[in-house]
């Protein structure tokens, strides 16, 4: 494939990725994790304050890299932010991952990189979480960048690739604590690749002519990059120490997963086949092509393909053995599968020389990729909040938006408008994403337990979780009207509106 054809097809792949990621970013209600990150970012945006929390929220890179987007969109406050503004960042990184694959052209070849880019572009998992304001797509972008630049550095040692490797490594660490799993998988894959190469060459392994100074430079860049982010750019040096102390908390969380505990095969099950409510989802095509990529590593002994095979298997194993699992955690090792899938697809066309066989194989691949794209469309634009979508996980229900609209409609009739008092009495699990949805209101109080009954009379609006609403409902029955809204599957919120404001709302409505 010549450069012109490759460039044209690659541009089409990029356009497809944009079309599956960019439109309708406000369709899906904010997930509680997204809302949590958004409010945390709002503090940085408004006051320039950020302190790393070693027990939650992950690393600081997400917040600092969102700042330029908020500034460019002229959104200087949390109240002015919108879902589309925040979700534009993961869209950029989701598309950027495909661009990063160009680093592998020298070793993988143009057809393999093009096919890998097609897999990444059309993957329902990749496209769905590219529309999520969480750390994941940034993290995968930095992982792919780290692997690609490190490989180029090992192939041709020099300051440029050393700096790139260190920069991506530092950004990985500053994005998410699970970076240590990726570092370990990459290190293990390099050792196993060297051993396999040495065994094949009869004890003589190829050695790169790198200088110790290059490795020191890469390490220094990684440390400085991570330290700048964790220290809030030197405003909070303690954040650097906290970034190390955080591993104790995350080790404990990973071992006692609670609600997030899933069996070891959870990730493979998500990718191969999920059937729910008449809908069937599968990215088995990518896994099948990746297996062919691993086969090509065995037969051809290409160093990069061997390395990617070891990395993918080691990372998959590590993430699968950790009891704590969320569906977006599959993305870092799934990126390895996608790279191998490109190699596997190219390997098939390389080995099958008969034209009468290439045509049906090509048609099958076209149908398979079309199916992936159709699933991505369904996941992002039709079933974006539907529990039957395998990548929907504890997602906020669209019914919750009715509650938000009701609060807005009632507040518009109150003399104080956005300064009216709202009391929220919910457990931590039921509170989010209310702080995001009520961000424009200046007087919102949050409690995790119900105070005395007379503590509500001064609030025109009260929002309560189901268990607390059952306790306070009888006490408020004479003075408030109650409505019920779904927050998440099997999770209800109760909206109490004081009678005088409710009567005004009803008169205005009719």
Q: Which of 326, 351, 382 is the last residue of a domain?
A: 382
Residues 431 and 364 in one domain: no
Q: Is 465 helix (H, G, I), strand (E, B) or coil?
A: strand
> Long-range contacts of range 432-435, CB-CB < 8 Å, 24 or more positions apart?
432/32, 432/33, 432/35, 432/36, 433/29, 433/30, 433/31, 433/32, 433/34, 433/35, 433/36, 433/396, 433/400, 434/35, 434/463, 435/35, 435/39
- Give Cβ neighbours of residue 477 (< 8 Å, ≥ 6 apart): none
CA 374/CA 372 separation, integer angstroms: 5
pLDDT at 199 over 80: no
How many residues would you count in the chain? 510
**What tokens were used for 326?**
């969320």
Does residue 490 fall inside a structural domain? yes
pLDDT at 202 over 60: no
Q: For residues 461 and 422, is the Cβ–Cβ distance under 8 A?
A: yes
Does residue 392 fall inside a structural domain? no
Q: What is the mean pLDDT of residues 362-372?
A: 96
Of 30-44, 149-163, 446-460, the poorest mean pLDDT is in 446-460
CA 414/CA 410 separation, integer angstroms: 7
Mean pLDDT of the residues in the chain = 92
Beta bridge partners, 321, equal: none
Q: What is the mean pLDDT of residues 427-447?
A: 94
CA dihedral over 50, 52, 56, 60, signed as positive or negative: positive
Q: How confident is the model at residue 131 (pLDDT cuts 50, 70, 90)?
A: very high
Per-residue H/E/C for 363-376: HHHHHHHHHHHHHH
Q: Is 203 helix (H, G, I), strand (E, B) or coil?
A: coil
CA 472/CA 459 separation, integer angstroms: 14
Residues 260 and 376 in one domain: yes
Beta bridge partners, 488, equal: 491
Give pLDDT, residue 206.
Answer: 47
Q: What is the mean pLDDT of residues 419-423?
A: 94
Residues 125 and 257 in one domain: yes
Does residue 111 fall inside a structural domain? yes
Give pLDDT, residue 207.
Answer: 47
Residues 125 and 229 in one domain: yes
What is this structure's pTM?
Answer: 0.94
Does residue 389 fall inside a structural domain? no
Residues 279 and 307 in one domain: yes
> What CATH number is given to the structural domain containing 470?
3.40.190
pLDDT at 204 over 50: no
Q: How confident is the model at residue 256 (pLDDT cuts 50, 70, 90)?
A: low
Residues 420 and 352 in one domain: no
Q: For residues 406 and 495, is the Cβ–Cβ distance under 8 A?
A: yes
Residues 505 and 466 in one domain: yes
DSSP-assigned letter for residue 226: H
**What tokens were used for 507?**
């008169």
Residues 56 and 135 in one domain: yes
Does residue 284 fall inside a structural domain? yes
Residues 480 and 368 in one domain: no
Q: Which of 382, 417, 441 is the last residue of a domain?
A: 382
Does residue 387 fall inside a structural domain? no
**What tokens were used for 274?**
């999920």
Residues 340 and 434 in one domain: no
Does residue 391 fall inside a structural domain? no
**What tokens were used for 426?**
């919910």
pLDDT at 456 over 80: no
Domain count, the chain: 2
Domain that holds residue 186: 3-382
Q: For residues 46 and 76, is the Cβ–Cβ distance under 8 A?
A: yes
In this predicted model, which residue has the larger pLDDT, 359 or 97? 97
Residues 366 and 481 in one domain: no
Does residue 56 fall inside a structural domain? yes
Residues 118 and 220 in one domain: yes
Q: Is 109 helix (H, G, I), strand (E, B) or coil?
A: coil
CA 336/CA 395 separation, integer angstroms: 27
Of 11-25, 63-77, 94-108, 245-259, the poorest mean pLDDT is in 245-259
Give pLDDT, residue 254.
Answer: 65
Residue given tokens 């954040």 in the structure block: 239
């Amino acid at each position: 494939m010549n450069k012109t054809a490759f460039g044209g097809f690659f541009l089409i792949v990029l356009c497809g990725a944009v079309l599956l990621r960019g439109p309708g970013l406000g369709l899906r209600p904010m997930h509680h994790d997204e809302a949590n990150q958004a409010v945390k970012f709002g503090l940085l945006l408004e006051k320039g304050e950020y302190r790393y929390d070693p027990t939650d929220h992950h690393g600081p890179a997400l917040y600092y890299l969102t700042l330029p987007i908020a500034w460019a969109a002229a959104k200087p406050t949390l109240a002015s932010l919108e879902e589309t503004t925040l979700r534009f960042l993961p869209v950029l990184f989701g598309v950027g991952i495909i661009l990063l694959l160009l680093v592998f052209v020298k070793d993988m070849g143009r057809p393999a990189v093009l096919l890998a880019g097609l897999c990444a572009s059309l993957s329902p998992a990749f496209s769905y979480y590219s529309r999520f304001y969480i750390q994941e797509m940034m993290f995968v972008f930095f992982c792919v960048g780290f692997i690609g630049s490190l490989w180029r550095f090992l192939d041709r040692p020099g300051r440029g690739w050393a700096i790139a490797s260190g920069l991506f490594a530092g950004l990985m660490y500053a994005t998410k604590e699970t970076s240590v799993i990726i570092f370990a998988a990459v290190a293990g894959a390099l050792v196993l690749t060297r051993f396999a190469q040495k065994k094949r060459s009869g004890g003589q392994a190829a050695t790169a002519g790198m200088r110790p100074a290059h490795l020191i430079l890469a390490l220094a860049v990684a440390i400085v990059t991570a330290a700048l982010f964790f220290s809030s750019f030197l405003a909070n040096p303690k954040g650097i120490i906290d970034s190390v102390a955080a591993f104790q908390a995350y080790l404990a969380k990973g071992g006692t997963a609670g609600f997030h505990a899933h069996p070891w095969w959870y990730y493979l099950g998500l990718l191969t086949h999920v059937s729910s409510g008449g809908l069937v989802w599968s990215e088995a095509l990518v896994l099948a092509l990746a297996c062919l990529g691993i086969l090509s590593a065995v037969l051809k002994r290409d160093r990069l393909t061997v390395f990617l095979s070891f990395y993918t298997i080691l990372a998959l194993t590590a993430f699968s053995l950790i009891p704590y699992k969320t569906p977006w955690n599959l993305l870092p090792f799934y990126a390895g599968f996608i790279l191998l899938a490109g190699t596997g697809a190219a390997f098939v066309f390389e080995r099958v020389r008969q034209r009468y066989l290439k045509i049906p194989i090509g048609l099958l691949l076209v149908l398979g990729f079309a199916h992936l794209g159709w699933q991505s469309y369904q996941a992002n634009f039709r079933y974006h909040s539907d529990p039957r979508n395998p990548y929907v996980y504890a997602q906020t229900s669209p019914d919750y938006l009715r509650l938000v609209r009701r609060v807005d409609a009632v507040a518009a009739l109150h003399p104080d408008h956005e300064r009216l008092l709202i009391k929220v009495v919910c457990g931590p699990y039921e509170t989010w994403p209310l702080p995001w949805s009520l961000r424009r209101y200046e007087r919102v109080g949050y409690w995790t337990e119900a105070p005395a009954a007379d503590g509500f009379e001064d609030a025109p609006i009260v929002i309560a979780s189901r268990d607390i609403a059952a306790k306070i409902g009888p006490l408020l029955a004479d003075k408030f009207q109650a409505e019920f809204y779904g927050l998440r599957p099997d999770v209800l919120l109760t909206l109490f509106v004081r009678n005088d404001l409710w009567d005004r709302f009803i008169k205005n409505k009719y």
